[in-house]
């Protein structure tokens, strides 16, 4: 069934709680509903949203917001070690994780408590604690707005990369509406405990159920990330920058000048001689952790998160906080931060 609303308020539909509206809002609960929509006659542009947990609306949206309420979880061939599962794009992602962990299926547990819906998660290639959703996705089913037909992409055709996929980038962005996602989860134990913080939290003991990992991940996330039901944010605001060796040595030099020799700069190998440095560390080194910037702030427990903790921040407040952070990091380290959050103009 399709439901259509005009001049629809979006405050409850985006986790930053931006008090904006859209010209038209459409909800649908079946993939076939999309065939009935004449996309050419809708207020433009058209934007799909799931939980709105990775978006920053900067003003009232002049076009159409489409929201999937396709909610099903279908287990296939349940006799196998690897269990194929088809899941509607409108299923809340963490409800899926809770359910599959409850069935003892391995694969999604490290991604516990990430806000948003299954469709949005597959667009974003969400990741946490050493796992990305692409590790367990086998395919993505879409409605192609241009060709007006269903199309299924195998995982290898989704162009998955760090917090990215073909659904997020030109030329395909906006062309494909994800209607369901296909996963392959495992009945056999496949704990992913390589991430140091998780390994420490588990006390070095090999977990025997995905539920054990889920519980630890939830504890860790609750200790350092804002609860979207209480504090507005879109999670990590910036991507972790990938630096050349020269850029990295410059960062290390700045840190050494300030803190003396052997002050460690956290980093990870990003391949091809490049190094990934946590954006949170760079922001913290600029003294911005917990800093209030107008009605917004850099979250006191995790510097990568910009929060609407006052509840009354406007898009300008969030953009201003973003600018303060990016300018400070650029001035101090000559590193450009890019937003992970999608900024809707």
Q: Name the site residues for ligand FAD (rule: CB under 6 A).
A: 15, 47-55, 68, 89, 114-117, 119-121, 123-124, 126-128, 163, 167-168, 177-178, 225-226, 228, 233-235, 342
**Nearer Cβ to ligand FAD, position 111 or 329?**
111
Catalytic residue flag (residue 82):
no
The conformation of residue 107, written as its DSSP 8-state character, comes to S
Q: What is the DSSP string of 153-213?
A: EEGGGS--BTTB-TTTSTTTTTTEEEEEEEEEEESS------SHHHHHHTTTPPPSSHHHH
Task: Give the number of other Cβ atoms within 10 Å of residue 93's Cβ.
Answer: 27
Which among 21, 68, 112, 236 is annotated as catalytic?
A: 236
In the complex, the smallest distance separating the C-beta of residue 232 from ligand FAD, rounded to whole angstroms, is: 8
**Nearer Cβ to ligand FAD, position 113 or 282?**
113
Catalytic residue flag (residue 12):
no
Which among 82, 163, 256, 314 is annotated as catalytic?
A: 163
**Nearer Cβ to ligand FAD, position 121 or 288?**
121
**What number of residues does the chain have?**
345
Q: How far apart are CA 120 and CA 224, in angstroms?
A: 23
**Nearer Cβ to ligand FAD, position 34 or 243?**
34
In the complex, the smallest distance separating the C-beta of residue 187 from ligand FAD, rounded to whole angstroms, is: 26
In the complex, the smallest distance separating the C-beta of residue 50 from ligand FAD, rounded to whole angstroms, is: 2
Q: Is 339 exposed, middle or buried (0-12, 13-18, 19+ CB in 10 A)?
A: middle
Tell me if 177 sits within 8 A of 183, measured CB to CB: no
Q: Is the dihedral of CA 339, 163, 299, 97 positive or negative?
A: positive
In the complex, the smallest distance separating the C-beta of residue 204 from ligand FAD, rounded to whole angstroms, is: 23
Catalytic residue flag (residue 15):
no
Which are the catalytic amino acids? Answer: 163, 236, 340
């Amino acid at each position: 069934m399709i439901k259509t609303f005009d001049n629809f308020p979006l405050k409850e539909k985006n986790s930053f709680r931006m008090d904006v509206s859209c010209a038209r809002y459409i909800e649908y609960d079946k993939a076939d509903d999309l065939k009935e929509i004449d996309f050419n006659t809708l207020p433009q542009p058209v934007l799909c949203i799931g939980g709105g947990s990775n978006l920053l609306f900067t003003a009232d949206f002049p076009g159409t917001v489409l929201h999937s309420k396709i909610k099903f979880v279908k287990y296939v061939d349940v006799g196998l070690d690897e269990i194929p599962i088809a899941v509607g794009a409108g299923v809340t992602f963490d409800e899926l994780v809770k359910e599959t962990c409850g069935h003892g299926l391995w694969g999604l547990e490290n991604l516990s408590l990430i806000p948003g819906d299954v469709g949005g998660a597959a667009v974003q290639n969400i990741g946490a604690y050493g796992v990305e959703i692409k590790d367990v996705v086998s395919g993505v089913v879409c409605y192609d707005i241009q060709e007006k037909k269903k199309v299924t992409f195998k995982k290898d055709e989704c162009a998955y990369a760090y917090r990215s996929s073909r659904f997020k980038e030109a030329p395909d962005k906006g062309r494909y509406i994800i209607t369901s996602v296909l996963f392959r989860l495992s009945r056999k134990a496949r704990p992913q405990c390589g991430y140091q913080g998780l390994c420490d939290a588990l006390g070095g003991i090999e977990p025997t159920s995905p539920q054990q990992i889920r519980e630890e991940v939830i504890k860790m996330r609750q200790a350092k990330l804002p609860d979207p039901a209480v504090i507005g944010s879109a999670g990590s605001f910036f991507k972790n920058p990938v630096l050349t060796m020269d850029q990295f040595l410059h960062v290390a030099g700045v840190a050494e000048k300030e803190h003396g020799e052997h002050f460690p700069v956290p980093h990870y190998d990003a391949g091809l001689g490049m190094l990934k440095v946590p954006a949170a560390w760079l922001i913290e080194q600029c003294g911005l952790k917990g800093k209030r910037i107008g009605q917004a702030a850099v979250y006191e427990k995790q510097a990568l998160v910009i929060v609407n903790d006052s509840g009354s921040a406007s898009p300008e407040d969030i953009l201003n906080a973003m600018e303060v952070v990016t300018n400070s990091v650029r001035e101090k380290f000559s590193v450009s931060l890019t937003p992970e959050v999608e900024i809707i103009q």
